[in-house]
Amino acid sequence: MPQTAVRTSSPSRQTIGDAAFETIARCLQEETGIVLSEAKKGLAVSRLSRRLRVLGLSDFDAYCDILSGPSAVPEIQEMILLLTTNVTRFFREPHHFESLRSRILPGLIAKAKVGGRVRIWSAGCSSGEEAYSIAMTMLEVFPEAASSNIRILATDIDRNVIRIGQKARYKLSEEDFSEHAILSKYTTKVEGADHQFDVVASAKSMVQFGQLNLMDPWPMQGKFDIVFCRNVVIYFSTETQQRLWPRFANIIVDGGHLMIGHSERVTGPATEILRSTGVTHYELKSRGAIQ
């Protein structure tokens, strides 16, 4: 990454001009679908000021020059990592896992027991707690899940959180174990490390991580029985959301399921094929793809 001479003013005290903010917001939305509203201007300044210091820049206009220059591609990736938010925890929004355990898994387990293929996608997985929560729920109901043809794909745009998920080591408190007793069964204490726990091998083996921007083409060939995409599209524009819902519908098996975040709703053409069956829980109700 090209470096420039450090100037006298401090980026930490900088404000961002309207033109620079609009450039950064437009770039972020074009690359990721995420809308950076005017209300997030302070957040952008706070997070990107660190990057200005690394690059030796004193203002955001100079940073925008990089975003449109020969080093744009790698710098845009750095910008995305700084501006995206990763908030997650084990068994977040528990009603989805209860629905998974009681309503969905019996049919999937029956399919797996006769050699059928079961696939689940955690889209926007952050550091992996969601994907491992799914794996733990499956193992609790079907202990042979790890040795069956059942796999969970976990993807995120942020390569740093993907590395955390692949390592499968998390900081857990007594409150975590009190709230979710299942964690005691599927994690092990790391000796010599305070409050650090590893996900057990059986759950870890069920999850495959990969970096993926939801705005890009999706490389997966097969369809999924369930897609979890929770608290992700809330950051997208309405137009981007309505393009994304049909893509999810197209990659879900007939009768399959889509779980989304508590503040999200399927809208637009996808409502013709995805029917609500519970709180932020949708089922693919008819055969065929929609465009």
Query: Which are the catalytic amino acids?
Result: 47, 156
- 3-class secondary structure, 223: coil
d(CA 250, CA 247): 5
Q: How far is CA 77 from CA 27, 87, 158, in A?
A: 11, 19, 9
Q: Determine the length of the chain.
A: 291
Helix axes 18-32, 72-83, angle to 10 degrees: 90
Q: What is the DSSP string of 29-84?
A: HHHH-B---GGGHHHHHHHHHHHHHHHT-SSHHHHHHHHTSTTHHHHHHHHHHHH-
> Residues annotated as binding site for S-adenosyl-L-methionine?
86, 88, 92, 130, 156, 213-214, 230-231
Q: How far is CA 225 from CA 119, 154, 282, in A?
A: 6, 14, 12
238: nearest Cα among 265, 273, 274, 271: 265
173: nearest Cα among 159, 183, 162, 160: 183
> Residues annotated as binding site?
86, 88, 92, 130, 156, 213-214, 230-231
- 3-class secondary structure, 221: coil
Residue 118 bridge partners (DSSP): 150
